[in-house]
Amino acid sequence: MEKPHEYPSPLRLLVIITLSIFATETVLMLIIRLLVVSETAEVFIDASLLTVLLFPLFYYLFYVPFRQAITDLQRSESALRASEKRLTTIMKTVGDGIIAIGPDSGIRFVNKELCDIFGYPEEELTGREVQMLMPEKYRALHSNGMERYLSSGQSNVMGHWVELEGLRKGGASFPIEINIRETILEDNEDKFFTAAVRDITHSKKLEEERESLIAELNQTNTELKDFVYVVSHDLKTPLRGIHNYSDFLREDLEGKLEEEQKKYLDGLSRAVCQAEEFINDLLDLSRVSRLEMVFKKINIGAFLKQVVESMNLPPDVKVIMKNDWPDMPAEPTLLRQIFLNLISNAVKFNRSPAKLLELGWNAKGDGFYELFVHDNGIGIEPRFFEKILKPFQRLHTAKEFEGTGIGLGIVVKAASRLNGSIRIESKPGEGSTFFVALPKEQKGEIK
């Protein structure tokens, strides 16, 4: 904006003008007295000359500064009007409701959005008490809060978004979000409070719907887990029965069976064994989901050594392990499930004459340890990485490699319950590495 013009001091102007008039008048009067005889002519000449002489003085000393002052005034007034118009437009069109109240709770300003939110026209709000926009139960709280703030400067609601209730014209209450700030105008120390107000009826409704959906989903999930557990568990008994009866049949008919009949009985036993294996894996998966978590501080190296020993791996398998391993909190049953599955897969999907497994770990920068199982087995095409991590997904027939397709599903579930994750690095024919990222720290009690 243009810098305002500087004006000479009025007192100085007055002194200069008075002295100028005095001096000019004296000189002129003396000259006229010497030259002119008639008194009337003298007065006329005197007045005319004085007017001509004083005109430039008046022009520069009065007219120019006066005109400048008027122009400046007009300019700043129109700038002020433009800025006010801009501000009012912003206030009116801003997405939030805006309300300003005085320390007496009287409403001084509302924007259109606020009027729309509460359903009042502007003139029904301005000048009235803000309590009219609150349900009854909040009115005393507001008055006490305002009193406390004015006397002690303490407030629970100032300066941040808080959820409250508003009262619409017609008496319906609804959820609002409000952010109140104190404003003091520099020039007249006029104090007032401005608040941005949002109607959160819609988002509250969405949130409630989301929460009830989550609750419903959790309920269904629990029911499903229970169902899988119960069905698998109950199926075990009849399957065991079929298994036993087919064994009895084979024993009783020993020597009397034709080759073809023997094949049928073998097929029956195989099918039952597969079903039993599947149910056991399904039960393991279900247990991993249902397990009550008890975190313990575990030295991973010692723990993995025990897991490997308990597996009684065939003699053509060599396991290499790092010497020093970190201690970390984990649920032992889940950790065991993870490595039992990864190690047995590393052995199973391996056609190398000398099967080599490497167990190791890396510290990741983001608060995780990455434990890994590397093998020199058949490898996996990267496009199948995502698929095989899902339960019941296999890349081979039971004839090629036996299995149920649940092992990696258990690994993923267990890692996720330990707040970790799984990733794979592999190429067909070049072995595979399964990485398990687990947090170095866990929330809650560690035994």
DSSP structure class, residue 446: B
How distant, in Å, are the alpha carbons of 27, 28, 336, 406 from that of 31? 6, 5, 125, 126
In angstroms, the CA 185 to CA 181 distance is 13
Q: List Cβ neighbours of 40 (8 Å cut-off, separation of 6 or more).
A: none
Q: Which is nearer to ligand ADP, 146 or 389 (CB)?
A: 389
How many other CB atoms are there within 10 angstroms of residue 321's CB atom?
14
Name the minimum Å distance from CB 267 to ligand ADP. 21
Site for ligand ADP in 324-363 (CB under 6 A): 341, 345-346, 349
Q: Which stretch binds ligand ADP (CB under 6 A): 33-41, 45-53, 145-153, 374-382?
A: 374-382
Name the minimum Å distance from CB 280 to ligand ADP. 12
Site for ligand ADP in 71-90 (CB under 6 A): none
Strands 327-330 and 421-426: unpaired
Site for ligand ADP in 241-300 (CB under 6 A): none
Name the minimum Å distance from CB 311 to ligand ADP. 14
Name the minimum Å distance from CB 401 to ligand ADP. 6
| Two tokens, residue 326 | 């970190």
Asked whether 347 and 403 are in contact (CB, 8 A), the reply is no
* Interface with ligand ADP, residue 380, by CB under 6 A: yes
Q: Which stretch binds ligand ADP (CB under 6 A): 238-246, 321-329, 352-360, 399-407?
A: 399-407
DSSP per-residue string spanning 162-217? EEEEEE-TTS-EEEEEEEEEEEE-TTT--EEEEEEEEE-HHHHHHHHHHHHHHHHH
Element (H, E) at 362: strand 355-363
Site for ligand ADP in 102-161 (CB under 6 A): none
Asked whether 249 and 242 are in contact (CB, 8 A), the reply is no
* Interface with ligand ADP, residue 232, by CB under 6 A: no
Q: Which is nearer to ligand ADP, 256 or 399 (CB)?
A: 399
Task: Give the number of residues in contact with ligand ADP, rule: CB under 6 A.
Answer: 21
Asked whether 438 and 332 are in contact (CB, 8 A), the reply is no
In angstroms, the CA 223 to CA 311 distance is 33
* Interface with ligand ADP, residue 404, by CB under 6 A: yes
In angstroms, the CA 361 to CA 79 distance is 69
Q: Which stretch binds ligand ADP (CB under 6 A): 29-37, 150-158, 360-368, 373-381?
A: 373-381
Q: Which is nearer to ligand ADP, 160 or 351 (CB)?
A: 351
Name the minimum Å distance from CB 141 to ligand ADP. 59
Q: Which is nearer to ligand ADP, 128 or 394 (CB)?
A: 394
Among 65, 145, 405, 439, binds ligand ADP (CB under 6 A): 405
| Two tokens, residue 247 | 């064994």
Q: Which is nearer to ligand ADP, 243 or 394 (CB)?
A: 394
Name the minimum Å distance from CB 375 to ligand ADP. 5
Name the minimum Å distance from CB 431 to ligand ADP. 8
Among 160, 396, 423, 427, binds ligand ADP (CB under 6 A): 396
Q: Which is nearer to ligand ADP, 111 or 337 (CB)?
A: 337
Q: List Cβ neighbours of 348 (8 Å cut-off, separation of 6 or more).
A: 401, 402, 403
Q: Which is nearer to ligand ADP, 192 or 385 (CB)?
A: 385
Among 303, 377, 418, 436, binds ligand ADP (CB under 6 A): 377
Site for ligand ADP in 414-443 (CB under 6 A): 432
Burial class (CB in 10 A: 0-12, 13-18, 19+), 438: buried
Q: Which is nearer to ligand ADP, 278 or 369 (CB)?
A: 278
Asked whether 105 and 87 are in contact (CB, 8 A), the reply is no
Q: Which is nearer to ligand ADP, 199 or 284 (CB)?
A: 284
For residue 173, the cross-strand partners are 167
Among 128, 168, 250, 394, binds ligand ADP (CB under 6 A): 394
Alpha helices in 291-331 (DSSP H): 300-310
Asked whether 427 and 379 are in contact (CB, 8 A), the reply is yes
Chain residues binding ligand ADP by CB under 6 A are: 341, 345-346, 349, 375, 377-378, 380, 388, 393-396, 403-409, 432
